Amino acid sequence: MDILISGLLLGGTYALMAMGLNLQYGVARIMNLANGEMLVLGGLAAFWLFTTAAVSPLLTAFVVAPLAFAGNWLIYRYLLLPLVRRAKSTGQLEVDSILATFGMSFALVGIMVSIHGEYFTYSYLADPFSILGSTVALNRFIAFLAAAAIGFALYYWLNHTYAGTAVRAVSVSTEAAGLVGINVDKVSAMAFALGGAVTAVGGTLISTFITLDASVGVIFTMKALIIMIMGGVGDIRGAVIAALILGLVETAVATIIDPGLTLASAYVIFLAVLLFRPQGLFGRRSS
């Protein structure tokens, strides 16, 4: 029971890391290597507001979301759209966007170091909370609820609204989407901005229970990449389910076998998925 609940909560944390990147890469086709830094930036906002003005991180999340949306929209519009326009192929866009966002990640690290070079550590809702006889941290539980809410909202929006359908269309084929009258640039910008907002809010929530620092972003980028590729690029369901699997397996291995093997177990699953379903759990086979 402990394993199931702790595992699901950890999976929720992973989902928060990966959903945003999935939108950015799946739809806007930007392999955003500054994804982790965006997450840490959300955490820094929570830390800073909490320690200077005692603002609840849950409240901060509502401030972070529109700011991150606007910031990421501007980044897409002015830094990345020129790359999209000049790219002759998907491959070239991938290389260009990796280089551009890699550079961006250093800039963001530099900015964050200048704001606070030490650990972003504070204590918020670090209280025991009992579900089904298992003790968990309240802040983790809340992050899990938020991850579930964001996941469901994104899923509903993508599958049951007109705008969401347009987003999915762009994710399948930018050319075909353009031919049926979808403004591909606008939809891509929105998907990128939304992805950035989801990531930053994830960071705000994660900072309540993981100690972040300005340079830690790359670890989150890697984790998000693994989860996204496991789940299938461009599919929110896939990202959430891959995150939950990873969380459950890591917790089971840590509890039953040895905490030292959690990383190894994560990579074993990743390899297994790559071997047997290279397009990811919910991914489309490329034609």
Residue 125 vs 148, nearer CB to other proteins = 125
Q: Who contacts 84 (Cβ-Cβ below 8 Å, separation ≥6)?
A: 29, 93, 185, 188
- Specify the 3-state DSSP secondary structure of 129: strand
Q: CB 170 → other proteins: shortest distance, Å? A: 32
Distance (Å, whole) CA 70 – CA 189? 10
Residue 96 vs 250, nearer CB to other proteins = 250
CA distances from 231 to 26, 163, 205, 235 (A): 11, 23, 22, 7
- What is the enclosing helix (H) or strand (E) of 136? strand 134-137
- What is the enclosing helix (H) or strand (E) of 43? helix 35-53
| Binding positions for other proteins, rule: CB under 8 A | 2-3, 6, 9-10, 13-14, 51, 109-110, 113, 117-119, 121-123, 126-128, 135-137, 140, 209-211, 213-216, 219, 247, 250-251, 254-255, 258-260, 262-263
| Nearest of 166, 169, 167, 172 to residue 287 by alpha carbon | 172
Residue 23 vs 214, nearer CB to other proteins = 214
Q: CB 8 → other proteins: shortest distance, Å? A: 11
Amino acid at the residue 12: G
Residue 217 vs 231, nearer CB to other proteins = 217
Residue 91 vs 128, nearer CB to other proteins = 128
Place of tokens 């762009």: 170
Q: CB 38 → other proteins: shortest distance, Å? A: 16
- What is the enclosing helix (H) or strand (E) of 137? strand 134-137
Residue 39 vs 191, nearer CB to other proteins = 39
Q: CB 238 → other proteins: shortest distance, Å? A: 20
Q: CB 171 → other proteins: shortest distance, Å? A: 28
Is the alpha carbon torsion for 215, 79, 172, 155 positive or negative? positive
Q: CB 142 → other proteins: shortest distance, Å? A: 13
CA distances from 210 to 52, 71, 179 (A): 19, 24, 45
Residue 17 vs 201, nearer CB to other proteins = 17
Residue 165 vs 215, nearer CB to other proteins = 215
Paired tokens of 175: 């050319």
Q: CB 188 → other proteins: shortest distance, Å? A: 31
Q: What is the CA radius of gyration of the chain?
A: 18
Q: Which value, to the nearest 10 degrees, does the dihedral of the CA atoms of residues 268, 269, 274, 280 take? A: -160
Q: CB 21 → other proteins: shortest distance, Å? A: 16
